Chains A and B, each alone.
Chain A
Amino acid sequence: MSTEAARADQITTATDWGGGTHPYRIGHRKLGMWLFIVSDALTFSALLVGYSYVRATSDQWATPFPFYPSIVFSSVMTLCLLSSSLTMVMGVSASARADYKAVRKWIGLTILFGAAFIVLHLIEWKHLLDEGLRPFSLPEEWLRPDRWPQASPLFGATFFAITGLHMFHVLTGLIYLAVVAARAPKLKHEDVEISGLYWHFVDLVWMFVFPLIYLLSVDFTPPVH
């Protein structure tokens, strides 16, 4: 008991750079999640820089996203992710009050928003696949002389790689959150917070993917029927 008290004392009284067992005043799992997030942020940065490199070095880059469905879908998807972050915050504060019924409700809503994101994104992928977009080739329609005849065929590679990896993160997050919601009463509050960190990070990545992939490729050419 006395060692427990000494440990608690160390946690609360250690100075910022004083070291000790809890130099950051967070548990080792939370620190681990933060370090994972930093490394994952670098993964996405590298992918986005790779996409920008290819785009900057190409003679022409397809800008094929029409207002409907692409921009409307991706905007609603952004709304879903932002709202899911808010419900996740509510879930974490319910967990701080040890109100597990509310934790399940809020995390359930978060999962619902996340699932809506994935469904909308898959529909959006299907539009593009039906048009004929593939990872290493553009649809014939896009290569028409009045559209983007010189466009780099790597559009699909960058699009599917970046949005695909992001979608995989959302899917993993949904499974993670479902496990956390199911086991909430047995978990420490910090463990629920950690799942929140991961979820907010997935939201954060989308804040860069959405403008760079979608908004910089808006189609201004009038539709031809």
Chain B
Amino acid sequence: MATHAEGEHFAGTNKLFISVWVWLLLMTGLEVFLGYIHIRFALMLTILIGLSIIKAALIVAYFMHLRFERLSLVLTLVPMLVICICLLLVFFPDSFRNRNQRYKFETDKPLMTTSGDEEE
């Protein structure tokens, strides 16, 4: 490997970038394939999100050079982003609560009509 001028840092070779690109394409192909097989929604969602996170990590690490930057920069940017995104997940229990309440209402309805109480 050629020695770089002072102040410059190793930033990857074309071969490395092309292999990252090929991996990204392969994972995209796998995602499209997964879209067409019948598996449980939750499992499929998990696999798709998992693959997307791996792809995002590859892009950030190699294309965006973060792997070749100082650790202090990585630790400044990545943990706060991950924590903030995880904090957004607090909304999901509410979305399920919301739906389950509505289903409960709908199953209550026939009970009321069979008892002859149709004032509504």
Contact = CB atoms under 8 A, between A and B. Distances in A.
Task: Decide if A and B are genuine partners.
Answer: yes
Interface of A: 8, 11-12, 16-17, 23-26, 31, 34-35, 38, 41-42, 45-46, 49, 52-54, 56-59, 67, 71, 75, 78-79, 82-83, 85-86, 88-90, 93, 96, 193, 196-197, 200-201, 203-204, 207-208, 210-212, 214-216, 218, 220
Given A211-B31, A211-B48, A16 B72 contact: yes
Interface in B33-73: 34-36, 38, 41, 44-45, 48-49, 51-52, 55-56, 59-60, 63-65, 69-73
- SS class, residues of chain B in contact with chain A: helix
A56 B96 contact: yes
A53 B91 contact: yes
Contacts, number: 134
A83 B21 contact: yes
Given A96-B11, A207-B56, A211-B48, A38 B80 contact: yes
A90 B63 CA distance: 10
Given A31-B73, A204-B59, 12 more contacts: A11-B7, A23-B72, A24-B76, A38-B80, A41-B85, A53-B95, A56-B92, A57-B96, A82-B24, A207-B56, A211-B35, A220-B38
B41, B52, B64: most-surrounded residue (chain A CB, <10 A): B64
Interface in B103-118: 103
A215 B31 contact: yes
Contacts of B3: none
A75 B91 contact: no
Contacts of B1: none
B96 A38 contact: no
Contact of A25 (B52, B69, B94, B103): B69
Nearest to A12: B7
B103 to A, nearest CB: 8
B73 A24 contact: yes
Contacts of B45: 216
A16 B32 contact: no
A220 B39 CA distance: 13
27 contacts: A8-B6, A11-B7, A16-B72, A17-B72, A23-B72, A24-B69, A24-B70, A25-B9, A34-B77, A38-B81, A46-B88, A49-B91, A53-B94, A57-B95, A71-B32, A71-B35, A79-B28, A82-B21, A85-B59, A88-B63, A89-B17, A200-B60, A207-B56, A210-B31, A215-B34, A215-B35, A216-B44
